[in-house]
Amino acid sequence: MSDATKQPGVSHWAENTTNIINPMIGIHNGSLASYSRIYSPLIMSNEWPKIGRLLFILFCCCFGSIMNGFFISSFFVERTLKRIGNTYLACAGLADMLITAGVMPVSAVVLLSGQWDNLLVCRTAQIAVETATYAYSWFFLMVGVENFFRICRTADYVIFIYLRIGLISILIFCLSFTLAAVGVLLDLDYDYCARRSFGNPSFRICTSVLFYGVFTISTLACLIATIMRLKRRAREEVQYKRSRLYKREYSFTASNLTAYVLFVVSWIPYWVIVNEFPSTSDAQYYNTVWIGLFRSVFVSFIYGITNRNFRRAYGQLFNYCCCKSTLSSSFISRHRRPLELQSTTGDTGVNIMDAPINSNSPHQDALILQETEL
């Protein structure tokens, strides 16, 4: 490789293969030149019909933003979801919203402009996507830990909910943004836009081990352990197995596990391409990226299909947005059993925390008080 084409972030092992990647790409006046490049980092292949790409991006943007908005709002309109521990899950939905309501509209604007991608816009989009991905992985780790403590370690759960969850959520977003910005701006991460640099091997190994290794294993372990604990208790206690509490807890945990497995599976192709086949074609590389991005469009919809509480919340929100001016009780009364409207402190079939906690526990009153407010 000549001195003129060397990049400061290119690793030694990648120097001999860097020229294979898009040899005719250059950057002029802040834009990514497209001498022989067909696939755009933001607007997909130029060989595809422009109207088709535009409709696809607009569908992802509109449908994904609406569903993610419904998902986040569910924690405020549905009583059974108004639990302070669900803050992490709501923030995970906010991370998906960053992609559907932030990155995808930018792609639509770039496509309508008729110009090739601007380097500054592309890098900003890359930072946003990496921030959302890091934050989503981090928040779901907290979701898994919260589920595990609430179901399997109820005696210690009161300590968990006394943590400053709001402050922790803000710190997670800040750390995710800092890590993404440092990786992109200092050329430590893979060069998504121009594909002229493989980044710093140490940085990429650390982020891969942390987010795709430690976080993934820990989250899956917590969620699977929680499901196994619920099933074991259902086998031991027939009354609990027949209760609405068991169905609600099991459905909620299973939905979380499904969403996280989908997140891991959707980003595995990108991880394999970047680490094992970094010199692959633009089409293969960017297609794997869009697989990961497309996940954020419909994962909230999956919650509505698999979980009754979210389905009921979506129905209330849809009824409010399209049919009525207020969230009247008439809709709720038609879709909720009478027992579910009783006080959260007096019915063991209503309060999501009453059954798992021993009635003699000294922390029960404080736990119920904390869990009834989001």
Q: What's the pLDDT at 280?
A: 87
Q: What's the pLDDT at 83?
A: 84
Q: Is residue 6 part of a domain?
A: no
Q: What's the pLDDT at 129?
A: 95
Q: What's the pLDDT at 325?
A: 55
Q: Is residue 42 part of a domain?
A: yes
* Mean per-residue pLDDT of the chain: 79
pLDDT in tens, 278-318: 888 888 999 999 999 999 999 999 999 989 999 999 998 98
Q: What's the pLDDT at 326?
A: 55
CA distances to 79, 235, 244, 289, 348 from 239, in Å: 24, 10, 10, 47, 12
CA distance 369 to 83: 10
Q: What's the pLDDT at 82?
A: 86
With beta carbons less than 8 A apart as the criterion, state whether 123 and 193 touch. yes
Q: Can you tell me the mean pLDDT for 22-41? A: 55
Number of structural domains found in the chain? 1
Pairing of strands 39-40, 44-45: antiparallel
Dihedrals phi, psi of 60, to nearest 5 degrees:
-60, -40
Could you tell me the pTM of the whole model?
0.78
Given a cut of 90, whether residue 39 has pLDDT beyond it is no
- Which DSSP category does 340 fall into? G
Q: Which domain holds residue 144?
A: 12-371
pLDDT in tens, 208-237: 899 989 999 999 999 999 999 999 999 998
Q: Is residue 177 part of a domain?
A: yes
Share of the chain above pLDDT 70, in %: 77
Q: What's the pLDDT at 137?
A: 96
Q: What's the pLDDT at 32?
A: 54
Q: What's the pLDDT at 333?
A: 46
CA distances to 144, 285, 297 from 257, in Å: 9, 27, 17
Given a cut of 60, whether residue 15 has pLDDT beyond it is no
Q: How far is CA 64 from the centre of its chain?
A: 12
Given a cut of 90, whether residue 148 has pLDDT beyond it is yes
Q: What's the pLDDT at 330?
A: 44
CATH number for 61: 1.20.1070.10
Counted residue by residue, the chain has a size of: 374
Q: What's the pLDDT at 288?
A: 93
Given a cut of 70, whether residue 9 has pLDDT beyond it is no
Structure-derived torsion over alpha carbons of residues 111, 114, 118, 124, reported in degrees to the nearest 10: -20
